Amino acid sequence: MILRTGISFFTDTPAYPGADEVGGIGPSLLGTMWLGIVSTAIGIPLSVLTGIFIVEFRNHKLAKITKVFTHSLLEIPTVLIGMLVFLTIVVPTGHYSLLAGSIALVIVMLPYTMSYLERALDEVPRTYKEAGYSIGMTRKQVVFKVVLGIAKPGVAAGLLIGVAKGISETAPLLFTIGSARGDFPVSPMDLGKPGDAIPLLIFQFIQSPYENWHDLAWGASFVLTVIVLVTFALVKLVVREVKL
């Protein structure tokens, strides 16, 4: 499929329904990239800081509660995350946007990222922390200069898994980004506008009666699978034991 259309598959907009050619997934691919970038940008600080809080102050009640609550997010059907973001962000702002979708994906990735992060932070041997304190580091310095430095591979793996989980999700995007696939979201300003993503395109096009859109959906799902598998392979390179 992709071979037939060549590079334009990645750069064109979808063709008209029923047309002879298929067009491309350009806007959706860009949308997925933006979703990945923005949700990572929000998700990294949020999950790293929360993870540090949970691990460093593990005896504190607030840390225990945080741990239970964030881990429970894993058990929430992702369509409910879409619902939540729709009711709390899309409705008040009055329109769909890539930003709303990104926030939904942050919620999707959070529990995955957190469980990796916590394990990585936990596994840093105590002796290095002691060494940090012994040269007069404060707790903050020990965490940022020693613990995070040593746990870097695990942290990176957690973030990658989180992003991969996020961008391959469909349900949280159903009522948040709006499936606008006519324009290319190129500047960050476009984040406030409706957009599209690859999984959403697949979901909608395969349900259409048009042959050429079906082809496009298959091509898109191939691209999505490759992106996800490459991410997992990267993670596998970084840490030995991977749990998806």
Segment 82 to 121, residues that bind another protein, using CB under 8 A: 82-84, 86-88, 107, 110, 114
Query: CB-based burial of residue 29 (10 Å sphere; 0-12 exposed, 13-18 middle, 19+ buried)?
Result: buried
User: Please, what is the minimum distance in Å from the beta carbon of residue 187 to another protein?
Assistant: 27
Name the residue with tokens 């529990």.
Answer: 111
Size of the site for another protein (CB under 8 A): 86
Distances (CA, A) of 80 to 91, 156, 227, 236: 15, 27, 25, 30
Please select the residue that binds another protein; options are 1, 65, 230, 237, rule is CB under 8 A: 65
Whichever of 35 and 174 has its CB closer to another protein, that residue is: 174
User: Please, what is the minimum distance in Å from the beta carbon of residue 93 to another protein?
Assistant: 14
Site for another protein in 136-195 (CB under 8 A): 136-141, 143, 145-146, 149-150, 152, 164-165, 168-171, 174-175
* Amino acid found at 8: S
The DSSP annotation for 187-233 comes to SGGGGGS----HHHHHHHHHTSS-HHHHHHHHHHHHHHHHHHHHHHH
230 counts as binding another protein under rule CB under 8 A: no
- 8 Å CB contact between 122 and 55: yes
Whichever of 131 and 186 has its CB closer to another protein, that residue is: 131
- Residues 190, 46, 159, 178, CA torsion sign: negative
User: Please, what is the minimum distance in Å from the beta carbon of residue 196 to another protein?
Assistant: 13
Site for another protein in 19-38 (CB under 8 A): none
User: Please, what is the minimum distance in Å from the beta carbon of residue 205 to another protein?
Assistant: 9
Whichever of 19 and 91 has its CB closer to another protein, that residue is: 91
Query: CB-based burial of residue 126 (10 Å sphere; 0-12 exposed, 13-18 middle, 19+ buried)?
Result: exposed
Please select the residue that binds another protein; options are 14, 101, 199, 219, rule is CB under 8 A: 199
Q: Pull the structure tokens for residue 10.
A: 């990645």
